[in-house]
Amino acid sequence: MAVRTSGPGPSGLSLLIVPLKNYPGVSMRRLKVAGQVSAGTTFIELDDVKVPVENLIGTEGMGMKYVMTNFNHERLFISIGVTRQARVALSSAFEYVMKREAFGKALIEQPVVRHRLAKAGALLETQWAWVEQFVYQMTKLEKDDADIQLGGLTGLCKAQAGMVLDECARCAVLLFGGNGFTRTGQGEIAERIYREVPGARVPGGSEDVLLDLAVRQLVKNYKNKTKQLERPQGSSKL
């Protein structure tokens, strides 16, 4: 846990290992959530909890830095999982419209159905390609360079992943029709994934925060790069 071990500000935060089960001063209660039930979302209350000094992770006062360092990988991890969810939702809907018949022909024969699948599919494939690009860059760049160059962009990718999931899950529910509104039967996958959408758009930084972060990081990098290109007299090398 990130806990305050000294004065105000980020430098006063440290990371500590805090035992939870049957530990003095720690109480927990399960929270009921709309989706991601298996995640075990829990409210944790700490009342004058004491842990040994050996439970300190790293250096005291560096907790915020450690947390921030993990953000890029966390957001990429979320993007990968969310993009996969979008593919599962859209794939299940595609399989359904291929076999579901209405008015004497399969739903896939209806132009409006194909149009809806095409729009959602285009968003999904571009998002997947973007995720693949980030995975490649993170394996090739040094960590310090990746933090600078990819920090805002991974946030943008994670935000976009949530929006793509929203579109694909909604598309799936609509194509399943009434079946997409039930928790059992042919449309249960689409219904379940649609409930997961808020859980994809909030963790790792809410959508609005990440969109703003991406542009602010871009502006910062732009200013730094253009400053490096300026000649001593003030003219540009470009």
Any domain includes 138: yes
Other CB atoms within a 10 A radius of the CB of residue 155 amount to 27
- Residue 165 maps to which CATH number? 1.20.140.10
Q: Are residues 75 and 43 in the same domain?
A: no
Provide the token pair at 172.
């799936």
> Which residues fall within 8 angstroms of residue 124, CB to CB, at 6 or more apart?
83, 86, 87, 90, 164, 168
Any domain includes 2: no
Any domain includes 167: yes
Q: Are residues 95 and 36 in the same domain?
A: no
Any domain includes 171: yes
Q: Are residues 124 and 17 in the same domain?
A: no
Q: Are residues 32 and 84 in the same domain?
A: no
Q: Are residues 48 and 118 in the same domain?
A: no
The parent domain of residue 85 ranges over 67-224
Q: Are residues 113 and 211 in the same domain?
A: yes
Give how many domains the chain has, as a whole number: 2
Q: Among 36, 57, 78, where does a domain finish?
A: 57
Q: pTM for the whole thing?
A: 0.84
Any domain includes 8: no
Q: Are residues 94 and 193 in the same domain?
A: yes
The string of DSSP codes covering the chain is -EEE-SSSSGGGEEEE----TT-TTEEEEEPP-SS-GGG--EEEEESS----GGGEESSTT-HHHHHHHHHHHHHHHHHHHHHHHHHHHHHHHHHHHHH-EETTEEGGGSHHHHHHHHHHHHHHHHHHHHHHHHHHHHHHS-HHHHHHHHHHHHHHHHHHHHHHHHHHHHHHHHHHGGGGG-SSSTTHHHHHHHHHHHHHHSTTS-HHHHHHHHHHHHHHHHHHHHHHHB-TTS-B--
Any domain includes 177: yes
Q: Are residues 76 and 52 in the same domain?
A: no
Per-residue pLDDT of the chain (238 residues; tens, 9 = 90+): 999 988 898 899 999 999 999 999 999 999 988 877 778 889 999 999 999 999 999 999 999 988 888 888 899 999 999 999 999 999 999 999 999 999 899 999 999 999 999 999 999 999 999 999 999 998 898 888 888 888 899 999 999 999 999 999 999 999 999 999 999 999 999 999 999 999 899 988 889 999 999 999 999 989 988 888 876 665 555 5
- pLDDT of amino acid 227: 85
Provide the token pair at 69.
């360092």
Q: Are residues 219 and 102 in the same domain?
A: yes
Q: Are residues 83 and 37 in the same domain?
A: no
Q: Are residues 23 and 121 in the same domain?
A: no
